[in-house]
């Protein structure tokens, strides 16, 4: 099994595994928020589940480039399964508390980052250059299907089998993910003969080498810095979305809106597969980012579930266009032998401010925006006529502010020629897939 068939086979296994994890993450998020009713507790979990992976991503990339890709993917999937088993055991024995989640999920963060970077660096090894856009579109389609089914199933599962059953399903789906990796041959790019095996000493030299490599790709690196700022604002929105929806609806409504977002991702992925990618990838990246930012400004004004669901649909329809185009661009411009290190460093730079965004979102929502948008609050007389007054309206206003900040940053990116023309100014370096030892 080679080429797109191999990619699709592994993708299906990972999508099944992700479905189980989506059920667990949804259930734990609702469980933690309903126990404390504090946005800050929810954001603390979000920080714990992302910060370790962000900080260690460049070193994880070094490990990936110096190791067999199949071993990396299998180990990352197995580690994620152990994290879920630990949380499940605590829950099944009625001992699980919020601080347990905060203590355990950092290990899962490292495993997830290893899986993401490892899988991204494998795509150009197994998929021909002319099919990269199709593969990245399929990636968005597969994960969009999970996003569509996951929240809907999770909402129903919480009311029927509860967290006990959800944990069990997640463990079984991890088995599917592990099996699909175990039975296929995943190639590893030819290693530089001067490169020794991964050691702690090699991590820092690899990090410096990856940064020098990226520095020569000025349009890509400049764009990465710009979108790190966009990512900061989008991360605030990400962690505020659950409180926004629970402020105007129920857990079932939350699952419905997230499922509609999944439908949007599904349609966007199908569009990318049939479209075969934009001729100007940076136009697709920047155009989709502009549209999403504008939607984030106006969507929180709505207080009807159907309007929030429609907004989630169109936002998530545009997201795969930006993500798949960006991923294809980087795969074409970065040599396969260094993709692990570069993609790891890219992961860290793009998400470096994410934990701060999570913290600020919780702090600003709990201490300023929410109280100020209650009846008689400081901001209610100025913004209440548009955003409304009451529970959740401060979160809505904060999301709109984050969307406006993102829009301004994207408009700046449009005006920088090296970023806007990175897809045509930088030469392609992707070659035909390698056939090295799996």
What is the mean pLDDT of each successive set of 10 residues along the chain, which is 438 residues long?
78 82 78 69 73 81 80 88 90 84 85 81 76 75 67 73 86 88 78 58 76 83 83 81 79 77 77 71 88 90 86 84 82 81 82 78 86 89 88 88 91 90 81 47
Q: How far apart are CA 100 and CA 46, in angstroms?
A: 13
DSSP single-letter state for residue 282: H
Concatenated DSSP letters for 304-353?
SHHHHHHHHHHHHHHHHHHHHHHHHHHHHHS-GGGHHHHHHHHHHHHHTT
**430 phi-psi bin (left φ>0, alpha ψ -120 to 50, beta other):** beta
Q: Count CA atoms closer than 13 A to 408's CA, side-chain side.
A: 9
Q: How far apart are CA 74 and CA 55, in angstroms?
A: 22
- Token pair belonging to 18: 């992700």
The whole-number pLDDT of residue 400 equals 92
Alpha-carbon distance values, 259 to 11, 19, 168, 219 (Å): 20, 13, 22, 35
Residue 427 tokens, joined: 């030469």
Burial class (CB in 10 A: 0-12, 13-18, 19+), 428: exposed
Token pair listed for 173: 């789906």
pLDDT at 199: 61
CATH homologous superfamily of 3-188+213-425 equals MFS general substrate transporter like domains (1.20.1250.20)
pLDDT at 152: 66
Structure tokens at 158: 């919480």
Instruction: Quickly list DSSP for 232-271.
Output: HHHHHHHHHHHHHHHHHS-HHHHHHHHHHHHHHHHHHHHH
Let me know: does 385 contact 397? Beta carbons within 8 Å.
no
165-183 pLDDT, tens digit each: 888 888 998 888 889 888 8
Question: Structure pTM?
Answer: 0.67
d(CA 341, CA 344) in angstroms, rounded, equals: 5
Instruction: Compute the C-alpha angle 116/111/238, nearest 5°.
Output: 65
Question: Quick one: tokens of 225?
Answer: 């810095």
The answer to whether the CB of 59 falls within 8 A of the CB of 203 is: yes
- Cα(358)–Cα(345) distance, integer angstroms: 21
> Can you state the percent helix, strand and coil of the chain, rounding each to 5?
80, 0, 20
What 8-state DSSP symbol labels residue 131? G
Alpha-carbon span 140 to 37, nearest angstrom: 33
> What is the rounded CA–CA span in Å between residue 121 and residue 422?
20
Element at 140 (helix H, strand E):
helix 132-160
C-alpha gyration radius of the chain: 21
Q: According to the model, what pLDDT value does residue 438 have?
A: 46
Q: What is the pLDDT of residue 190?
A: 63
N residues, the chain: 438
Q: What is the pLDDT of residue 21?
A: 80
Q: Find out whether 313 and 263 touch, Cβ atoms under 8 Å.
A: yes
Q: Cα torsion for 179, 181, 185, 188, to the nearest 10°?
A: -160
Question: Where are the chain's structural domains?
Answer: 3-188+213-425
Convert the pLDDT of each residue in 400-430 to its tens digit. Answer: 998 999 899 899 999 998 888 888 888 887 5
């Amino acid at each position: 099994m080679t080429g797109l068939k191999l990619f699709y086979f592994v993708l299906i296994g990972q999508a099944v595994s992700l479905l189980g994890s989506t059920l667990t993450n949804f259930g734990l998020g609702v469980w933690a928020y309903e126990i404390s009713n504090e946005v800050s507790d929810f954001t603390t979990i979000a920080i714990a589940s992302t910060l370790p992976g962000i900080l260690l991503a460049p070193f994880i990339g070094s490990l990936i480039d110096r190791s067999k890709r199949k071993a990396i993917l299998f180990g990352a999937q197995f580690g994620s399964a152990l994290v879920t088993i630990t949380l499940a055991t605590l829950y099944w024995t009625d001992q699980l508390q919020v601080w347990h989640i905060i203590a355990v999920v950092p290990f899962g963060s490292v495993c997830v980052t290893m899986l993401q970077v490892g899988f991204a660096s494998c795509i150009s090894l197994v998929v021909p250059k002319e099919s990269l856009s199709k593969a990245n579109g399929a990636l968005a389609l597969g994960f969009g299907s999970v996003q569509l089914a996951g929240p809907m199933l999770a909402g129903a599962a919480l009311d029927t089998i509860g967290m006990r059953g959800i944990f069990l399903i997640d463990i079984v789906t991890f088995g599917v993910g592990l099996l699909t990796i175990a039975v296929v041959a995943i190639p590893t790019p030819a290693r530089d003969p001067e490169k020794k095996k991964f050691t702690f000493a090699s991590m820092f030299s690899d990090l410096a080498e990856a940064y020098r490599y990226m520095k020569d790709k000025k349009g890509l690196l400049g764009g990465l810095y710009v979108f790190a700022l966009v990512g900061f604002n989008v991360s605030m929105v990400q962690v505020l979305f659950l409180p926004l929806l629970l402020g105007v609806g129920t857990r079932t409504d939350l699952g419905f809106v997230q499922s509609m977002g999944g439908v949007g991702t599904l349609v966007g992925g199908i569009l990318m597969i049939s479209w075969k990618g934009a001729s100007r990838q940076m136009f697709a990246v920047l155009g989709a980012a502009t549209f999403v930012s504008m939607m984030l400004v106006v969507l929180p004004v709505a207080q009807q579930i159907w309007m929030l669901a429609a907004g989630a649909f169109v936002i998530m329809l545009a997201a795969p266009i930006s993500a798949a185009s960006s991923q294809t661009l980087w795969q074409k411009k970065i040599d396969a032998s260094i993709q692990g290190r570069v993609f790891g460093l890219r992961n860290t730079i793009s998400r470096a401010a994410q934990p701060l965004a999570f913290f600020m979102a919780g702090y600003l929502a709990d201490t300023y925006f929410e109280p100020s948008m209650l009846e008689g609050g400081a901001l209610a007389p100025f913004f209440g006529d548009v955003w409304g007054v009451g529970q959740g309206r401060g979160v809505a206003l904060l999301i709109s502010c984050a969307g406006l900040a993102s829009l301004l940053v994207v408009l700046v990116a449009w005006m920088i020629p090296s970023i806007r023309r990175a897809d045509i100014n930088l030469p392609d370096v992707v070659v035909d897939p390698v056939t090295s030892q799996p």
